[in-house]
Structure 1
Amino acid sequence: MKSKVQLAYAALLALIIWIGIILQFYISIPDYLEKGRTLGGAIVQLLSYFTIQTNLLLALLLSLLVLKPQSKLGRFFAAPHVIGAMAAYIIIVGLVYHFMLRTQFHPVGLFKTTSDIFHILSPIAFVLFWLFLVKKTRIKWINVLLWLVYPLFYTIYVLIRGAFTSYYPYNFLEVSTLGFDKVMVNCGFLLIGFIILNAVLILISRLVAKH
């Protein structure tokens, strides 16, 4: 993270994502409160979206790369396998939205603005950052599986929380509507997608590093 182009790009993208996150909380919390949720419940509900979590992690990663690259946390996020994992997660955010949610989700106004930031701008911009501005290394193949830990724990959290609250952030995880078997099939397809994507990103990184 030494070149001015890298720093400027990371800083700008971090700023845009932070604005999107702040705006999302600003417009969503009053809406949840009007529906009878507590402030704490509204915040937990927002943070239960994989999209919000991933973009929040992405904003933190980019901010640390710019502001605190030598800190312990900054060095962690700067590790090639961590940046690669984040690329996989944000790509999944974009793909799931485009192929599974876009026809059912029609935001307007500021909600559309934040949706476009999280689902379109952020995935495309970070993938370009990873491809052209991040030094590639020979990431170990074991990361194909290690990168599954975060989405696996997220899925477990959503299913357990949904069993108690009947709330599922995504309709393809709604056990109460689809049934457990159908949700497991959906999770299986997502797992396969993650594995393929992880392998492709690691392959690209290894090929670039080799040459």
Structure 2
Amino acid sequence: MKNKVKLTFAALLAILLWIGIVLQFYISIPDYLDKGRTLGGAIVQLLSYFTIQTNFLLALLLSLLVIKPQSKWARFFAQPHVISAMAAYITIVGLVYHFMLRTQFHPVGLFKVTSDIFHIVSPIAFIAFWLFLVNKPLIKWINILLWLVYPLIYTIYILVRGALTGYYPYNFLEVNTLGYGKVMANCGFLLVGFIILNAIFILISRLSAKQANA
């Protein structure tokens, strides 16, 4: 019964995320083209958002778990330390939006729909999925550091790309406006946030595993 609920929940959330992703590209690309971007530049810009990347990975993860659970990539995503890392990543998406972007970002119409899907519905739904439907073993504490690889690579990519093009996806990474000192301070703040979240998710997983084996 639990497995049926898990697959149904995963399928519904995957469908919602794919709808959000397709809709985001559908409404954003013409907007970027109107501002003088090329089609390729518009696509790269969209894929440069941590929010878009993370929700895309979640949609892929959930889809594989439902459609091809025995495939190589499904087994990879289904590993406890991988799916738990994704829970931590989507949580930071929701928290950064709530505490750093919500007061400065006021989308309307379909842009608000996609924003709510990616920043509110997705984090809450996937955290619930992870908490209640995913088996949680004793994840090693070293993953607190290993889970930082993705956000660190992302940050390096954004700063290098921004230095070359002048485009930054988030205002707290805008070197042209804030300078490298302020941006590095913001990155340090986010790094601490990631470490704390990683520790929380690992702790929950370990406590759940110990309770299950008691």
Q: Which amino acid aligns with 1:121?
A: V
> How many Å separate the matches in 1 of 2:78 and 2:32?
36
> What does residue range 1-211 of structure 1 map to in structure 2 within 5 Å?
3-211=3-211
1:49 positional shift? 0.3
Percent identity of paired positions between Structure 1 and Structure 2: 82
CA displacement, residues 30-78 of structure 1 (integer Å, 9 cap, x when unaligned): 1111111111111000000000000000000000010111111010000
> How many Å separate the matches in 2 of 1:2 and 1:36?
50
Bigger Cα displacement from structure 2, 114-123 vs 172-181: 172-181
1:2 positional shift? 7.0
Q: Secondary structure at the match of 1:3?
A: helix
Contact 2:137 2:209 in 1 (8 A): yes
Q: Which amino acid aligns with 1:99?
A: F
- With normalisation by structure 2, the TM-score equals 0.97
> How many Å separate the matches in 2 of 1:170 and 1:110?
20
Contact 2:47 2:53 in 1 (8 A): yes
**Any runs of at least 4 consecutive aligned residues in structure 1 with deviations exceeding 6 A, and if so which?**
none
C-alpha RMSD of matched pairs (Å): 1.0
How many matched pairs?
A: 211
* Structure 1: stretches of 5+ with no match in the other structure: none
> How many Å separate the matches in 2 of 1:181 and 1:107?
29
